[in-house]
Amino acid sequence: MICPRCGEENLEGIDRCSNCMEPLRDRDVPQPTRGLQRLIMEEPVSAISSSAPVVVAPHATVAEAVRRMREGRIGCVLVVENDLLVGVFTERDVLMKFAGTDKNLDESKVTDVMTRSPEKVETTKTLRFALNKMSVGGFRHIPITDQGRLTGIVTAKDALKFIAREALYKGEAQESED
Amino acid sequence: MVEIVRGLNGEKQMSVREALRQTKIRELKPSSPACVDRTATLAEAIASMRGTSTGCVMVCEGQRVTGILTERDLVDKIVGEPVAFSSAVEEFMTRNPKTLTADASLDEAIRLMDQGDYRHLPVVDGAGGIEGIISIQHIIGFLAELFPTEVLNLPPRQNQYIDSREGG
């Protein structure tokens, strides 16, 4: 720890500068506590979520799910039964299970093709936590729940837009003011 | 991968913005793209797309990318519509997608994706030949790794406290 007052090089964790007695205790704390780094580590995931979840019932047809996906401009519909999230149906499922086949979308039920017990995050978890889940699992959409009850959805696009806004555009506005 | 230096010993602290500027696309390890010729049918393009993890296929003329077909196009224009899978992929692809080179910086990729609402960007060489593809997942992966695990073990701030005593 270099003393900010006299420039003396002190031992890590020392309370006062050994040369000028400047108090150092409050300064010698790791510092990802500023700006965007702090936001990513502390901002609850619900704060960056930008779109309302698109919800269907398990007995809905795949045709309806695809239509809702289109209308909602989102790549994932959530399957909810009795207020509980039971599955997700995504663009990837459309690609893998329906595209290029002659399956009848009006006769297929979402419940038969959805992914059950999807990954989700609690509404109070941080953005960092959600980023990790997306990265590890390769998901682009993660439902947000509050004690099991569905409250929202966070997408990779939300995260990208958040980073673009906070790290690129905001910084540039400050730079041009300087 | 850029190391975030924390201001413990008076070193310069690198901001996230700096990290995005200094990281090159090649460091994200672009995926190898699925490619079909521009004369391909929709069925061929879909079969090729299924073999990838990125959910898109490049439509090429020789080495040059002339279009891109993604999962989103399937949802929006193809699945559930009266579309013959023997149709030409060219009818459904997005023409002349935005591309970048492997030497472009990550912040450029984020800008392009944000402003164009893209989630895939073909990576091309100087002559415009296809080299790879980066997707929004590459960027999420980078951001998730930007903060080393040690930051999870930071001391608590003064406004964070435990309501009850620790211990059994």
B151 interfacial to chain A (CB closer than 8 Å): yes
Tell me if B3 sits within 8 A of B12, measured CB to CB: no
Alpha-carbon dihedral angle through residues B36, B42, B43, B46, given to the nearest 10 degrees: 70
pLDDT value of residue A176: 62
pTM here is 0.79
Mutate which: B143, B145, B153, vs A, most A CBs within 10 A: B143
Beta carbons of B143 and A159 less than 8 Å apart? yes
Q: Give the number of other Cβ atoms within 10 Å of residue A157's Cβ.
A: 20
Beta carbons of B154 and A32 less than 8 Å apart? yes
Across the interface, which of B80, B114, B151 has its CB nearest the CB of A66?
B80
Set of chain B residues whose Cβ sits within 8 Å of the Cβ of A163: 16, 20, 110, 139, 143
pLDDT value of residue B12: 45
**How does pLDDT run across A84-131, given as a tens digit for each residue?**
899 999 999 999 999 888 889 999 999 999 999 899 999 988 888 888
CATH number at residue B130: 3.10.580.10
Beta carbons of A135 and B110 less than 8 Å apart? no
**How does pLDDT run across A53-65, given as a tens digit for each residue?**
999 999 999 999 9
Listed by number, the residues of chain A in 10-69 with a beta carbon closer than 8 Å to a beta carbon of chain B are: 28-33, 35-37, 40-41, 63, 66-67, 69
Domain tally for chain B? 1
List domains and CATH numbers for chain A.
Answer: 45-163 (3.10.580.10)
Please spell the DSSP secondary structure of A10-32, one letter per residue: --TT-SB-TTT--B-TTT-S---
Nearest CA to CA, how far is A79 from chain B (Å)? 18
Question: Which structural domain, as residue segments, surrounds residue B103?
Answer: 17-149
pLDDT value of residue A63: 95
Tell me if B58 sits within 8 A of B36, measured CB to CB: yes
Nearest chain A residue to B151, by CA = A32
Q: Does B100 map to a domain?
A: yes
Q: Does B11 map to a domain?
A: no
Q: Which residue has the tokens 């413990």?
A: B8
Tell me if A157 sits within 8 A of B120, measured CB to CB: no
Q: Does B163 map to a domain?
A: no
Q: Does B108 map to a domain?
A: yes
Q: Give the separation between CA B145 and CA B87, rounded to whole angstroms.
A: 42
Lowest mean pLDDT among A11-15, A35-39, A164-168: A35-39
Kindly list the strands in the beta sheet with B35-37, ordered across the sheet, starting from the edge strand earlier in the chain. B35-37, B56-61, B64-70, B94-95
Beta carbons of A92 and B71 less than 8 Å apart? yes
Q: Does B66 map to a domain?
A: yes
pLDDT value of residue A29: 58
**Helices A35-42 and A127-137, packing angle to 10 deg:** 70
B71 interfacial to chain A (CB closer than 8 Å): yes
Nearest chain B residue to A96, by CA = B50
DSSP designation for B83? -
pLDDT, averaged per 10 consecutive residues of chain B (168 residues), comes to 44 70 93 94 94 90 94 92 91 95 95 94 92 94 72 51 65
Q: Give the separation between CA B77 and CA B51, rounded to whole angstroms.
A: 21
**How does pLDDT run across A121-157, given as a tens digit for each residue?**
999 888 888 888 898 888 999 999 988 789 999 999 9
Beta carbons of B119 and A157 less than 8 Å apart? yes
Across the interface, which of A40, A69, A131 has its CB nearest the CB of B75?
A69
Set of chain A residues whose Cβ sits within 8 Å of the Cβ of B111: 164, 168
B67 burial type by CB count under 10 A (0-12 exposed, 13-18 middle, 19+ buried) = buried
CA–CA–CA angle A100, A61, A118 (5° rounding):
85
CA–CA–CA angle A42, B28, A127 (5° rounding):
15
**Helices B106-116 and B136-145, packing angle to 10 deg:** 130
**How does pLDDT run across A68-77, given as a tens digit for each residue?**
999 999 999 9
Beta carbons of A99 and B114 less than 8 Å apart? no
Q: Does B12 map to a domain?
A: no
pLDDT value of residue B5: 45
pLDDT value of residue B162: 61
Q: Give the separation between CA A11 and CA A28, rounded to whole angstroms.
A: 11
B57 interfacial to chain A (CB closer than 8 Å): no
If one compares B147 and A9, the residue with the highest pLDDT of the two is A9
